[in-house]
Every structure is written in C-alpha cells, then in structure tokens.
Amino acid sequence: MQTRNKVFDDLSQLMTNAMGVAQGAKTEAETAMKGLVDRWLADRDFVTREEFDAVRAMAQKAREENEALKMRIEALEAGSKPKSTKKTSS
C-alpha cells in the first residue's frame, strides 16, 4: 500500500512541477511577445492617444481662430465694423 502511495505522490509531484514549468514558459513567451510588439510599434513612429488628442485640439482651435479672422476680414472688406460673436440680452 505504501508503494502505491509513493507512486501517486511522485506522479503528483511530477505534474505539479510540469505545471510550474508550463506557467513559467507562458510568462516568458508573453514577455518576449510584448517586447517584440513594443519594438515593432516604436519603429513605426506611431503616436500615442494623448499626442493625437493634443494635436486634434490644437487643430480645432486653429480652425476656430481662422473662422473668426475670416469673418473679420469679410466685415472689413464690406466697409462695416466686425460683428461681435457675443449675444447681448435686451
């Protein structure tokens, strides 16, 4: 009876060790793949979301300023005073 328990104990220990090795291999593969993807993305000069959002906000502000200047130029060319964009309450 003790021999049988010894075999099962050894088999159980072997399976436990195999699972530990498999988990370690999985972690190592994930780390290697992440490093590979990070290097690939860095080589492509992609921008981060934060950089993209900052440039988009700057472009929106520039469009708004251009529109305001366009309206001022049109008003000056027409010979009238530029209209204020603020509404006044009566």
Q: How far apart are the first and last CA of the chain?
A: 102
The mean of the pLDDT values for the chain is: 85
CB 68 within 8 A of CB 84: no
What gap in Å lies between CA 74 and CA 81, rounded to an integer?
10
What gap in Å lies between CA 82 and CA 68, rounded to an integer?
10
Percent of the chain whose pLDDT exceeds 90: 49
pTM value is 0.43
Q: What is the pLDDT of residue 62?
A: 98
Interval 22-57: pLDDT, tens: 999 999 999 999 999 988 888 888 888 999 999 999
